[in-house]
């Protein structure tokens, strides 16, 4: 029996219920489905990283870290970013360790978006962007990327920007389309935002998972954009420890000052032993530089295994996702297709409509290849049994 509340409430998100990810997770568990849906690895992280964190706990690093993060970790991050992308961030005022990239995104929007401000982002999009903007009294504006290349239409963006535009959210490599920005894209973004007060919030959690020799074109690679950007990334995605919930943010001091004001009241400081472990682990660049070939091999393996399936896999330039098209053999909605795959074929995927505010259905589903070889093999075999 549940407790009946006598309090009347007015929801800030009346149209938001349980996410499709939770719904699919419950249905998958019920049918013991092969998990190609969740954007989290099912293989272990490096035992050395576990040992580094365990040692930190044993050595007594179990109390609050400094507000903005351990200096050793922030210094290691600043050095990594300078080496890879050429941008020098001040360790004291421009680097922040966060309790996950999701928290970093929430803090940036909360600190910098005011009631009535417009925030432009690109759909399909990570499902937290629009609700967080709404919670701050802002207006989320989703511009739809064109299927199948999912490239930004810069003329459309130019026409959408108004004097009320406060923020543009970028995600590269992109979840769920698996596409990446190019240097030409960055030049376009710089030109459109020049001489404005628009902030770029750049979600770069897959920064080290870019394929086929492409560079990661994040905001730190473009000096002009770096001056107006908040960059958010994730240790969890990079090092196969999504449950540890530690990420980071980079921003010019004027922007970071406002973000830290929110951070101190959300959690004060991220987990200390994890920060100690990551500070040591970042000393070896190969620990993150090997991720692109590692995941490219998994991408190629899944694509090879599915070559005889009825699904058509779209190109994948980065992240650990790939989209699969089925509209050529079925008129089912993507949500119904996903449910049928779970119930009848025992494999879990994600409908692309979950990444649109209006539920746009392009007859595409998202697959995750951040899985061990046995899971990829079993999942592909199940999808190959689908009747085309």
The one-digit pLDDT tens for each residue of the chain (388 residues) are 789 899 988 999 988 877 777 888 899 999 999 999 988 899 999 999 999 999 999 999 999 999 999 999 999 999 999 999 999 999 999 999 999 999 999 999 999 999 999 999 999 999 999 999 999 999 999 999 999 999 999 999 999 999 999 999 999 999 999 999 999 999 999 999 999 999 999 999 999 999 999 999 999 999 999 999 999 999 999 999 999 999 999 999 999 999 999 999 999 999 999 999 999 999 999 999 999 999 999 999 999 999 999 999 999 999 999 999 999 999 999 999 999 999 999 999 999 999 999 999 999 999 999 999 999 999 999 999 998 7
Among 209, 200, 101, which Cα is nearest to 152's?
200
Please report the pLDDT score of residue 20 as a whole number.
Answer: 73
Domain range 47-283, CATH class? alpha beta
- Quick one: pLDDT at residue 173? 98
Euclidean distance between the first and final Cα of the chain, in Å?
47
Residue 39 has a pLDDT of 86
The pTM is what? 0.96
Apex 312 CA angle, 311 and 315, nearest 5: 140
Would you state the pLDDT for residue 16?
Answer: 82
CATH top-level class of 20-39+289-384: alpha beta
Q: Which of these, 83, 73, 89, 68, lies nearest to 227 by C-alpha position?
A: 89
What are the residue ranges spanned by the domains of the chain?
Answer: 20-39+289-384, 47-283
Distance, CA of 68 to chain centre? 22
**pLDDT at res. 21:** 76
Predicted local confidence at residue 38, as pLDDT: 87
- Please give the full DSSP string across 210-262, using - where no structure is assigned: B-TTPPP--GGGSHHHHTTEEEEEEHHHHTT-GGG--EEEE--HHHHHHHHHH
- What does each C-alpha distance from 217 to 170, 181, 206, 207, 222 come to in angstroms? 11, 6, 11, 9, 8
């Amino acid at each position: 029996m549940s407790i009946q509340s006598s309090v009347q409430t007015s929801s800030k998100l009346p149209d938001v219920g349980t996410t499709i990810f939770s719904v699919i997770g419950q249905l998958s568990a019920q049918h013991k489905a092969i998990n190609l849906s969740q954007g989290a690895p099912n293989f272990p992280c490096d035992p050395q990283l576990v040992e580094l964190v365990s040692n930190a706990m044993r050595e007594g690093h179990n109390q609050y870290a400094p507000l903005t993060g351990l200096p050793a970790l922030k210094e290691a991050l600043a050095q990594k970013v300078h080496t890879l992308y050429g941008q020098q961030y001040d360790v004291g005022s421009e680097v922040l360790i966060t309790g996950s990239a999701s928290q970093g995104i929430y803090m940036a929007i909360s600190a910098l978006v005011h009631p009535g401000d417009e925030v432009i982002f690109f759909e399909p999009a990570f499902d937290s962007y629009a609700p967080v903007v709404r919670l701050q009294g802002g207006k989320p504006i989703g511009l739809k990327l064109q299927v199948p290349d999912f490239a930004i239409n810069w003329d459309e963006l130019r026409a959408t920007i108004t004097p009320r535009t406060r923020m543009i959210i970028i995600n590269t490599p992109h979840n769920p389309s698996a596409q990446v920005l190019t240097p030409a894209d960055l030049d376009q973004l710089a030109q459109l935002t020049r001489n404005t007060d628009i902030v770029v919030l750049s979600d770069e959690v897959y920064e080290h998972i870019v394929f086929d020799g492409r560079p990661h074109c994040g905001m730190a690679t473009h000096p002009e954009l770096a001056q107006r950007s908040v960059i958010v990334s994730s240790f969890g995605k990079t090092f196969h420890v999504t449950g540890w919930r530690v990420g980071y943010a980079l921003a010019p001091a004027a922007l970071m000052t406002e973000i830290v004001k929110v951070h101190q009241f959300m959690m004060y400081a991220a987990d200390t032993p994890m920060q100690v472990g990551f500070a040591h682990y970042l000393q070896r660049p190969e620990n993150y530089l090997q991720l692109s070939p590692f995941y490219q091999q998994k991408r190629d393996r899944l694509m090879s295994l599915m070559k005889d399936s009825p699904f058509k896999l779209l190109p994948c330039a980065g992240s650990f996702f790939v989209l699969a098209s089925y509209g050529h053999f079925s008129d089912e909605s993507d949500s119904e297709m996903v449910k049928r795959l779970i119930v009848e074929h025992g494999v879990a995927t994600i409908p692309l409509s979950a990444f649109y505010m209006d539920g746009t259905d392009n007859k595409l589903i998202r697959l995750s290849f951040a899985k061990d070889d046995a899971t990829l093999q079993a999942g592909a075999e199940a999808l190959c049994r689908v009747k085309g």
